[in-house]
Amino acid sequence: MTLAGTAAPAWSWNLVTDFQDMWSYPFMVNAFRAGAVVAVVCAVVGWFVVLRRQTFAAHTLSAVAFPGAAGALLLGLGAVYGYFTLCVAAALVIAALRGGGEHEDSALTGTVQAFLLASGFLFTALYRGLLEGPQSILFGTFLGITSSQVTVLMVVGAVVLAVLALIGRPLLFASVDPEVARGRGVPVRALSVVFLVLLGAATAEASQITGTLLVFALMVIPAATAQVLTARPALSLALTVLLALAATWLGLTAAYYSPYPLGFFVTTIAFAGYVLALGGRSLREMRTRTRTRTLTRPGADAVSAAREAAA
Amino acid sequence: MNPMTKAREAVTHTSGHTAPGRRRGGHDTATGTGNEPVVALRAAAVRVGGRTLWSDVDLRIGAGEFTAVLGPNGVGKSTMVKVLLGALPTAAGEVRVLGARPGQANERIGYLPQRRSFDAHLRVRGVDVVRMGLDGDRWGIPLPFPSARRRTDRARVDEVIELVGASAYAHRPIGQCSGGEQQRLLIAQALVRRPELLLLDEPLDSLDLPNQSGVAALIGRICHQEGVSVVMVAHDVNPILHHLDQVIYLAEGGAATGTPAEVITSETLTRLYGTPVEVLRTSAGGLVVVGRPEPPAVHTDRHEIPGESA
């Protein structure tokens, strides 16, 4: 949904008046609040998604948000309930289908995704009263976020973050090194089910801001960017949150002052950050490679290993 | 050093090797009573999927002893490790690990599963992987404030990384480390809680020759200098041969235990396999087993033709 129909407010380069102008509308204040909650929750959950290589499951859950919202509207309920119900239900289905296997079954996950997307299409066709069509569900909106919606987002977000804080360390262990973690008594399987449910809840949150098709803008891109920049777990988690917040708030500002949609801005800002991070890393690697080539000779690893053997 | 532990170690060194059994401070968690061995199997048997893998296995491993589990593929070597961890029940006989039933003392065991290599794109440092061995199973997340525990934890991680000689690359993403470097870091991870028993499943698999002898020497050093008992599954005995105190050779559902010189002989293996087997000795002291019904297990490379190398 865009402001294209109305005249877009003018950007003045005076940040104080710009933000005063923007925040004089309660719907914009709500949009910034909701955006902040969603950015933080998605960043933290997404950091584990990237580490665990579960982007396909995340994609499926975000696709499932579409029939969820459309179905809820068709039944006359709020879209919010549709998002949460179907995302969490689909997370449980994926967890159940996976059975005892270590990795998710991508064929089954894809099957579930295709069927639910088709159902969503049917729901929007049945619900002719939806003036904008499926567009705002698919690509996100920041108009008309109510205060009660913000409260729901905050409560769910707080629960997700609290659970993640509780299971964070064993979940990291189970994600990086499942076999040893299991040997140490970490309930690897139970953790992966819990994480899928958290992922479902976070996806449902993000869908309401970025739309179901652009959930990855907050779920995957900030985490991927941070993990390109650093391999320190705590630092990269903090960076992920910062990047997601920046993309969301900058995106909201840009969408307010321009006639173009929010999802585009959030995604583009996040994507630009990723490209910059990749470019920066390749540059740094090229520099260190030329430096180490002059400093050390190849095969140093084998030499030190042989020295150890002789000792 | 707890005098009880010292006495126990002195008594349990049944093999010819002299293992000093020296331990560092904070390591002496009480190990049950008296002179109990670290691992004891009596007439143990294991069934997997209705098939008896091995039976009538007797084994005693004392503190600070290096024991190899040898045998051809599919004979149940890794199963032995799973039994010691309590992940698989025994069908018969008795198994005691660190004075308790298997699985009861896993806190005091360091376990290195069969060769796993980390994805090249995994953006987690070696030092983080080692750290997970220390407190990765603790609930909650560490608070970002300096504290005494934080300092001692960090010092312990640095100490164990130094011990395995991985300081130079521990701060690189582990996916970018070579196979040998990853294996050293994983050994550090298994060691970081000062275990009394280290279970290693084919840690030399898919390493090149210099790294094989390097990691073998490291494990031998940890075992004999740090006093950690080691049980290591191997398909090739040669890289670890002169570090070993004891071998258990599994074949054809049975087992032979003893020193390498007792077990890896033409007579013992012929009796074990029930078919003529010859053990050849190379000029450098390496062993080659030939004439067996299966591809050579006591060999550098599974796919080489028996007798052509080593």
pLDDT single digits (tens) A123-182: 888 876 654 556 777 777 777 788 888 999 999 999 999 999 999 999 999 999 888 888
Contact B106 A184 (CB under 8 A): yes
CA distance B97 to B67: 14
Minimal CA–CA distance to B98: which of B27, B170, B174, B30?
B30
Q: b/e map of A32-46 (b: 16 or more CB within 10 Å)? A: bbbbbbbbbbbbbbb
**Neighbouring residues of A69: CB distance < 8 A, sequence distance ≥ 6:** A79, A82, A83, A120, A137, A207, A212
Q: Which of A210-219, A266-275, B66-75 has the lowest mean pLDDT?
A: A210-219
Closest approach of B298 to chain A, Cα-based (Å): 20
pLDDT attached to residue A201: 94
Q: Distance (Å, rounded) from C-alpha A79 to C-alpha A148? A: 13
Residue A60's pLDDT is 87
CB-CB neighbors (< 8 A) of A230 in chain B: 123
> Nearest residue of A to residue B168 by CA position?
A301
Distance from CA of B109 to the nearest CA of A (A): 9
- CB burial string A90-105: b at 16+ within 10 A, e below: bbebbbeebeeeeebe
The answer to whether the complex's ipTM is over 0.85 is no
Amino acid residing at B230: V
In the stretch 45-64 of chain B, residues with CB closer than 8 A to chain A read none
Range with the poorest average pLDDT among A107-121, A203-217, A254-268, A289-303: A289-303
**A227: chain B residues, CB-CB within 8 Å:** 123
pLDDT tens figures, B83-120: 999 888 999 999 999 999 998 888 899 999 886 678 88
- DSSP SS3 for A177: coil
C-alpha distance from B67 to closest chain A C-alpha (Å): 19
- Determine the average pLDDT of the residues in A56-76: 85
Phi, psi of B229 (to 5 degrees): -70, 140
Whether residue A34 is predicted with pLDDT greater than 70 in this model: the reply is yes
Chain B residues close to A232, C-beta within 8 Å: 125, 128
Residues B226-241, buried b or exposed e (16+ Cβ, 10 A)? bbbbbbbbbbbbbbbb
Ramachandran region of residue A133, left (φ > 0), alpha (ψ -120 to 50) or beta? left
Q: pTM for the complete prediction?
A: 0.80
Which SS3 state, helix, strand or coil, does residue A100 take?
A: coil
CATH class of A15-310: mainly alpha
B-contacting residues in A 213-242 (Cβ below 8 Å): 227-228, 230-234, 236
Give the whole-number percent of chain A exceeding pLDDT 90.
Answer: 35
Q: Is 70 exceeded by the pLDDT of residue A24?
A: yes
β-pairing, B92-97 vs B39-48, is: antiparallel
Task: Say yes or no for a CB contact (<8 Å) between B178 and A181.
Answer: no
Q: Is B136 on the interface with A (CB under 8 A)?
A: yes
pLDDT tens by residue, A176-203:
988 888 888 899 999 999 999 999 999 9
- CA distances from residue B149 to A139, A173, B126, B139, B279 in whole angstroms, order as listed: 48, 20, 21, 16, 53
Confidence of residue B1 (pLDDT cuts 50, 70, 90): very low
Instruction: Kindly identify which residue of chain A lies nearest to residue B144, measuring between CA atoms.
Output: A234
| B-chain residues near A176 (CB < 8 A) | 118, 122, 124, 128-129, 132
Q: What is the pLDDT of residue A132?
A: 56
Provide, as residue numbers in chain A, all residues whose Cβ is less than 8 Å from the Cβ of B132: 172-173, 176-177, 180-181
Asked if A300 reaches chain B (Cβ–Cβ under 8 Å), the answer is: no
Contact B10, B34 (CB under 8 A): no
How confident is the model at residue A307, as a pLDDT?
Answer: 53
Helix (H, G, I), strand (E, B) or coil at A105: coil
Nearest to A184, CA basis, from A196, A195, A193, A172 = A172
CB B95 within 8 A of CB B84: yes
The residues spanned by each domain of chain A are 15-310
User: What integer pLDDT is reported at residue B14 of this predicted model?
Assistant: 35
Of A173, A183, A311, the CB nearest to B111: A183
CATH architecture of structural domain B3-290: 3-Layer(aba) Sandwich (3.40)
Q: Do B217 and A309 touch (CB under 8 A)?
A: yes
- B175 in reach of chain A (CB within 8 A): no
Terminal-residue alpha carbon distance, chain B: 43
Residue B244 pLDDT > 80 = yes
For B266-306, how does the pLDDT look when each residue is reduced to its tens digit (9 = 90+)? 888 888 888 888 888 888 888 888 875 555 555 544 444 44
Q: Say yes or no to pLDDT of B134 above 60.
A: yes
Write down the pLDDT at residue B84. Answer: 93
Token pair 């993000």: residue: A206
Confidence check: pLDDT of A211 > 60: yes
The residue among B43 and B35 whose pLDDT is bigger is: B43
Query: Which is more confidently placed, B15 or B132?
Result: B132
DSSP secondary structure letters along B86-139: TSS--SEEEEEETTB-TTSSGGGEEEE-S-----TT---BHHHHHHHHHHTTSS
Indicate whether A1 pLDDT > 80: no
**CB-based contact (8 Å) between B132 and chain A?**
yes
Q: Is the pLDDT of residue A209 over 80?
A: no
Q: Which two tokens stand for residue A121?
A: 């299409």
Instruction: Indicate the range of A46-55, A243-252, A294-303, B48-57 predicted with least confidence.
Output: A294-303
Q: Which is nearest to A234 in space by CA: B116, B170, B229, B141?
A: B141
Q: Chain B interface, mutation test: which of A52, A173, A186, most B Cβ atoms within 10 Å? A: A173
- CB pairs under 8 A, 24+ apart, for A163-168? A163/A194, A163/A198, A164/A44, A164/A45, A164/A48, A164/A198, A165/B140, A165/B141, A166/B139, A166/B140, A167/A191, A167/A194, A167/A195, A167/B139, A168/B140, A168/B141
pLDDT of residue B11: 37
